[in-house]
Amino acid sequence: MSTKYGGYAGKVLKIDLSTREVSEYPFSDKERELYLGGKIMAAKIFYDYVKEKIDPLSHENMIVVSTGPLNALFAPSSSRFNISGISPLTGILTSSNCGGDFGVKLKMAGYDALVITGKSEEKIYITIYNDKVEFKNADKYWGMLTGEVQKEIQKDSADPKLNTGKIVIGPAGENLVRYACVVSDDRAAGRGGLGAVFGSKNLKGITAAGTHKPEPYNKEAFKELTLYWTKKLRSHPLTGNQLPKLGTAGLLTPMQSKHLLATKNFSRGQFEDFEKISGEEMAENHLVKNAGCTSCPIRCGRVVKVEGKEVKGPEVETLGLLGANILNNDIEKIFEWNYKLDELGMDTISTAGTLAFAMELNEKKLWDSGLEFGKTDNISEIIEGIARRSNPICDDLANGSRFLSQKYGGKDFAINAKGMELSAYEPRSAVGQGLGYAVSNRGGCHLNGGYNVVLEGLGLSINQRTPKGKASFTMTFQDLMEAVSAGGNCLFTTYAFFPPFLIKNPRGLVTRIVNKVAPHIGFLLYVAGKFPGILAVNLKPLLPHPLFLSAATGMKFNFGKMLRVGERGYTLERLINMRLGITAADDTLPKRLTHELQDENDKKSHVPIDVLRKNYYRCRSWDKNGAPKAKLVKRLGILPN
C-alpha cells in the first residue's frame, strides 16, 4: 500500500511467527492523518485487535515496532522508534521508545512498521532486507548477551559489510523476566517488559536494512528547518549546554536541592551522599566522551569505563534509583550494574525499584531476601540471578514489586503505579508529577505521565506542592509529548520550548513572575484543549515540530493540530486499557506517597491524588470512572470497534 505523503515508506509488514506467513498490514493515508506514526500508530493497530484481556506471554499478544515520518529523514534528534505490546509487568498496553538505529534501517528497508503475531515453535531471529524476509534458527544465539548477539548476527549476515539495524533480547527476555527490555546498539526500549514478550515468542531479535530512501514532501523547507533547528538546539541552555555537558545526570543535583531525589525506597527526597553519584562527579572524574543517537546534535549520552572497557554511562534515573534509592554512594558500582543490566537485557528502573522494595521488606522482616539498604556486595550476583531466574529469591524478584507485595505484603510502600515501578522523581515534592505517574497509560512513567517535574524544579520552579493547574499541565504535556514521539523526534527537543531567558535567569524578575503565575493559567490550557482552533498557530522559535511534520509529510500541521493528534493517541490507549481491565481505581499511587508526609512540618508534602485525579478527568473529558466520554471519542474521530 503506497502513500501520497512524504516521509513515510508507505508499507506496514505483518509477520505471523506461527505460520511464517508474511503479508502487508493495511494502514491507509486517512489513518496516517489521524494517528501519524510511532506509538500512536501502534495504538491504532492494538485498538483494532484487542477486544478483551490478553495473557501478555501467550501467542495472542502482538508486538508492533513502529517508526515516525521523520525517521530516516535525518532531522535533528529524529532516530527514535517505538515498540508496543501488552506488558507482562502491568497487563496493559505498554510502549517503549528507543534511540538505536533500527527505526532508520527499517524505513530504509521500506517499512513504516512491523506487526508481529503468533509464536515460533523454534528459537529464531528475523532478517529483513527490502522485500526479503527470512526466519533463521537462533539456537546458537540463545543465552548470548545483547552486545555479543548483535555482533554475531552482523558477522553471520549474507553481507557482513552491510550495516544492519538490530533489535535483540538478552537472557532476561529469554527467561521471561517481567521487566526485560529490547536493545538496539547500546540503547534500550526499557519499560514494560517487552523483552519477555519477544522471549515468549522464541524471537531473539530482528535485523533490518535496505536501499529505500524516504524523502520529505518539501525538500527545501525541510532542509532550511533542519539547519535552523540544529542551531537552536545547540544554543539553548538545556539542549546546548546542560545535556551535552552533564547528560541527564545533570538533573540529579537540582533534584537533591528540591527534595525530588527518591531516597531509601521513596521514604524521603534527599540523599546525603548525592554528590558522589552526581552528574558533576561523572563528568569530572569518569567521563570518557559524549555519545549520541543518529542525527542528534545534543549528544547527551555518556561514555564511561567498566573494567577498562568503554561503555554507555547511566542516565539520571539509573543513578538515582541504583544510588540514593538503595543508599549506595559508589558511582562505579552503578556503572557496572548499568552495563550488566543492558547486556542481560533488563530495565534499570524496574530492577532498581524492585531491589529497593525487597530491601525494605527485609528491613521490616516481611521477606528475607538477603538484600539490605547500603549493602552492595551481592547486587551484581542478584542481578545476574534475576536475569536467569536462577533461584527462588531471584525468581520472585524477576516478577517486579507489585508481585512481591501481593506475595509478601508491604503494598503501601511498593512504589509502582499500575504495576510499573516509578522513575527517580519523588512526587511528594512534585505533585503534578505524582498525578502523571498515577494516570499514565503505561504505569509509573515520568514521560508518559507528562513530565510535570520539569515545571516543578527541573526547568522552572512553580509551586511544587499546589494542585492548582497541575491537571491541565499534565494533560497538555502528555498530548504534546505523545505527538512529538509519534513523529519520530526525541522528547528532549521539547526542552527548547522553554524560553532560554527563563532558564538562564532562574532568579530573575520575569522568571519569578512566570513561576508565580503558572499554576493559575490551567484554565486557559483547559479551554485550549476544548477548542484547539485557538492554538492553530506555529511557534517556530520554541516548537518547530509542526513545521517539520508539514514539510516532511505534506499534511498541514500547527500547534493545535499536533496537540489533537497527541490527545487522540492518549485517549486511544486509555480505551484499549479499559478493555484490559483498567478503571479509575488504578489511577493512584501507594499510600506512602499519598498519605505519608515527606516533611512532617508541611501538611501539603504528599500527593493529593483524589483532587488531582478529579481535575484531570474533567480536563480530559473523561467521566468519574475514568472513561473517555462518547462525545470526546466522536470529536477525536475514533471509530467504534
Count CA atoms closer than 13 A to 369's CA, side-chain side. Answer: 33
Split at pLDDT 50, 70, 90, the class of 533 is confident
Which pLDDT tens digit goes with each residue over 30-52?
Answer: 999 999 999 999 999 999 999 99
Residue type, 407: K
Q: Are 65 and 206 in contact (CB under 8 A)?
A: yes
Q: Say what percent of the chain tops pLDDT 70.
A: 100
Handedness of CA 197, 389, 189, 127 (dihedral sign): negative
Query: Which pLDDT score is estimated for 530?
Result: 73
- Nearest-Å Rg of the Cα atoms of the chain is 23
> Cβ of 367: how many Cβ atoms within 10 Å?
18
Segment holding 321, helix H or strand E: helix 316-321
Q: What span, in angstroms and rounded, lies between the C-alpha atoms of 533 and 563? A: 11
pLDDT of 499 over the 90 cut = no
> Cβ of 568: how many Cβ atoms within 10 Å?
26
Q: What span, in angstroms and rounded, lies between the C-alpha atoms of 632 and 638? A: 9
pLDDT of 317 over the 80 cut = yes
Question: What crossing angle do the helices spanning 38-49 and 470-487 adopt, rounded to 10°?
Answer: 90
Residue type, 237: P
The residue assigned the cell 536501499 is: 211
Domain made up of 12-209: CATH architecture: 4-Layer Sandwich (3.60)
The edge-to-edge listing of strands for the beta sheet with 289-291 is 289-291, 301-306, 309-312
Domain made up of 430-635: CATH architecture: Orthogonal Bundle (1.10)
Task: Please give the mean pLDDT across all residues of the chain.
Answer: 95
Report the relative pairing of strands 93-98 and 81-86 from DSSP bridges: antiparallel
Q: Are 314 and 338 in contact (CB under 8 A)?
A: yes
Q: What span, in angstroms and rounded, lies between the C-alpha atoms of 612 and 635? A: 25
Question: Fold for domain 225-421?
Answer: 1.10.569
Which pLDDT tens digit goes with each residue over 179-216?
Answer: 999 999 999 999 999 999 999 999 999 999 999 999 99
**Secondary structure class of 294 (helix, strand, coil):** coil
* Beta partners for residue 310, in sequence order: 305
Q: What span, in angstroms and rounded, lies between the C-alpha atoms of 374 and 377? A: 9
Long-range contacts, stretch 387-393, CB < 8 angstroms, 24+ apart? 387/170, 387/171, 387/172, 387/175, 387/177, 387/180, 387/344, 387/345, 387/346, 388/171, 388/175, 389/175, 389/176, 389/177, 393/369
DSSP string, 237-293: TIIIIIHHHHGGGGGHHHHHHTT-B-BTTTTBS--TTGGGGSHHHHHHHT--EEE--
Residue 318 contacts by C-beta under 8 Å, 6 or more apart in sequence? 334, 338, 348, 349, 352
pLDDT of 234 over the 80 cut = yes
The x, y and z cell numbers of residue 107, run together, are 524505513
Split at pLDDT 50, 70, 90, the class of 395 is very high
User: Can you say how many angstroms the Cα of residue 605 is from the centroid of all Cα atoms in its chain?
Assistant: 27
Residue 392 contacts by C-beta under 8 Å, 6 or more apart in sequence? none
Query: Domains of the chain: which residue ranges?
Result: 12-209, 225-421, 430-635
The x, y and z cell numbers of residue 571, run together, are 485517549
Mean local confidence (pLDDT), 386-411: 98
Q: Are 386 and 345 in contact (CB under 8 A)?
A: no
Which pLDDT tens digit goes with each residue over 131-186?
Answer: 999 999 999 999 999 999 999 999 887 777 788 999 999 999 999 999 999 999 99
Query: Which pLDDT score is estimated for 519?
Result: 86
Structure pTM?
Answer: 0.97
Which pLDDT tens digit goes with each residue over 587-598?
Answer: 999 999 999 999
Mean local confidence (pLDDT), 347-354: 98
Q: Are 350 and 400 in contact (CB under 8 A)?
A: yes
Query: Which pLDDT score is estimated for 450?
Result: 95
Considering only the C-alpha atoms of the chain, give the largest distance between any 2 of them, rounded to a whole number of Å: 67
Mean local confidence (pLDDT), 255-261: 98
Phi and psi at residue 97, in whole multiples of 5°? Answer: -95, 145
The residue assigned the cell 558533576 is: 280
The x, y and z cell numbers of residue 300, run together, are 547527551
User: Can you say how many angstroms the Cα of residue 32 is from the centroid of all Cα atoms in its chain?
Assistant: 22
> Comparing C-alpha atoms, which of 195, 192, 204, 186 is closest to residue 96?
192
Query: Which pLDDT score is estimated for 1?
Result: 60
DSSP string, 365-428: TS---S--TT--TTHHHHHHHHHHT-SHHHHHHTT-HHHHHHHH--GGG--EETTEEP-SB-GG
